[in-house]
Chain A
Amino acid sequence: MNIADHQVVRDYLDELDRMLQGLDPVQRTEVVDGVREHIDASLADRPDARDEDVRAVLADLGPASAVAEEAYAARPDAAPATPPQRVPVLARGWVPRVVGVGTGVVLVLTFLALSMTHGGLSESGGCSGGVCETSVDYSASLPSAVAVLLAVSWLWLPLVALATSTELWTPREKVILVVLVPGAVVAVLGLSDLGWALTHAEVGPTVGAWTGTALGFVGGGIALRRLTSRAGDRVPAS
């Protein structure tokens, strides 16, 4: 259910945002985000929420003016002992951008490295007595996998450290980000190995490698884009 589909909700959140103009921008965004998430969660299990469901949720929330009044309220200890808190450095907009672009670069480098190993295929041939034969051989891919990952680790490991340290992704999303690159490598080489095992001919590893590329690199790229965009939405404005 997309709450943005409901004009009443948009109007409510817009009104709230307007009323909070006098607040510190970080606080204002946090309050509006909190209320929006409240509405999202209330209607999460009702994908075709009717207008009266939405109005009931807004009625329980109360008037935007009451929320604004609470936000501006003088507190018993009005002057905070610490200065207004800035957005933590790992929750800022640069984090998803750096992880997204950086991991994208790692994926491209990894793909190039893998394609340069020619999928482990090699040909040898000989001619004798007018008959020429070529045979195809395929070598194990594990050394290639390790070599490729080591080659990109200087860029990949800091990105993984950054992705796992930020609050902008859930634990499950962080797992996806960590396995994304090694997963792509394993997909290409693993399916290539499988293709050889099944066919003992050039076609096997070739088809395997292309399938692995589609799954690992293209699929990985799509997942990366989606997760980066989600984290971008979660960044508090500053």
Chain B
Amino acid sequence: MRHMVPGDDAILTHLRRGALEYCVLALLAQEPRYGLDIARRLGADGVLLGSEGTLYPLLARLRRSGLVTTTWQESPEGPPRRYYTLTADGRDALEAFRRTWKPFREAVEMTLGPTAHPPGGAG
């Protein structure tokens, strides 16, 4: 896990609130996945997920909102596992995020820029 200065944590938390659930939806766009799989993929660099456990409240919220559902499937190692699947609403939400994220991200990056220019200046 990356070592963060205090203060970065608060900002990161807020940024995650906006985008993380759409990252989860994006992981489920190709195929259903089980919790540990999602946690490992998102948690690897410590940027998207502070700790793997914080995934589970997020998944519970996504289920409550009807964006994902769960099924039980046989697993090669051990007992059957709970798999998370994207619903039609989930797909719509993901597409809406994709449409919005790109212009948002570009606007933020342009505004932050290598050096900030006053409005109207060359970007």
Q: Are A37 and B82 in contact (CB under 8 A)?
A: yes
Give chain A's interface residue range (CB within 8 Å of chain B): 35 or more
Q: Are B65 and A82 in contact (CB under 8 A)?
A: yes
Distance in angstroms from A177 CB to nearest chain B CB is 13
Q: Are A27 and B53 in contact (CB under 8 A)?
A: no
Query: What are 19 A-B contacts with C-beta separation under 8 Å?
Result: A34-B55, A34-B59, A35-B53, A38-B36, A38-B53, A41-B34, A44-B79, A45-B78, A60-B43, A61-B51, A66-B51, A67-B57, A71-B57, A76-B17, A80-B64, A80-B65, A167-B72, A169-B72, A170-B73
Q: Are B65 and A40 in contact (CB under 8 A)?
A: no
Q: Are B80 and A41 in contact (CB under 8 A)?
A: no
Residues of B in contact, count (CB < 8 Å): 36
Distance in angstroms from B84 CB to nearest chain A CB is 9
Distance in angstroms from B71 CB to nearest chain A CB is 6
CB contacts under 8 Å to A, within B24-64, are: 34-36, 39, 43, 50-61, 63-64
B77 within 8 Å of A (CB atoms) = yes
Q: Are A60 and B35 in contact (CB under 8 A)?
A: no
Q: Are B54 and A70 in contact (CB under 8 A)?
A: yes
Give chain B residues whose Cβ lies under 8 Å from the Cβ of A129. none
Instruction: Check A61/B70 contact, CB under 8 A, given A31-B57, A44-B77.
Output: no
Q: Are A167 and B71 in contact (CB under 8 A)?
A: yes
| Whole-angstrom CA separation of A38 from B33 in the bound complex | 12
CB contacts under 8 Å to B, within A22-74, are: 26-27, 30-31, 33-35, 37-38, 40-42, 44-45, 60-64, 66-67, 70-71, 73
B74 within 8 Å of A (CB atoms) = yes
| Whole-angstrom CA separation of A42 from B66 in the bound complex | 27
Q: Are A42 and B36 in contact (CB under 8 A)?
A: yes
Question: Of all chain A residues, which has the CB nearest B14?
Answer: A76
For the A-B complex, the count of residue pairs with Cβ-Cβ distances under 8 Å equals 110
B73: contacting residue among A76, A80, A171, CB under 8 A: A171
A27: contacting residue among B51, B64, B69, B81, CB under 8 A: B64
| Whole-angstrom CA separation of A216 from B79 in the bound complex | 24
Question: Of all chain A residues, which has the CB nearest B39?
Answer: A38
A173 within 8 Å of B (CB atoms) = yes
Instruction: Check A170/B72 contact, CB under 8 A, given A34-B59, A76-B17.
Output: yes
Give chain A residues whose Cβ lies under 8 Å from the Cβ of B73. 170-171
B114 within 8 Å of A (CB atoms) = no
CB contacts under 8 Å to B, within A138-196, are: 167-173
| Whole-angstrom CA separation of A76 from B65 in the bound complex | 14
| Whole-angstrom CA separation of A80 from B63 in the bound complex | 12
B7 within 8 Å of A (CB atoms) = no
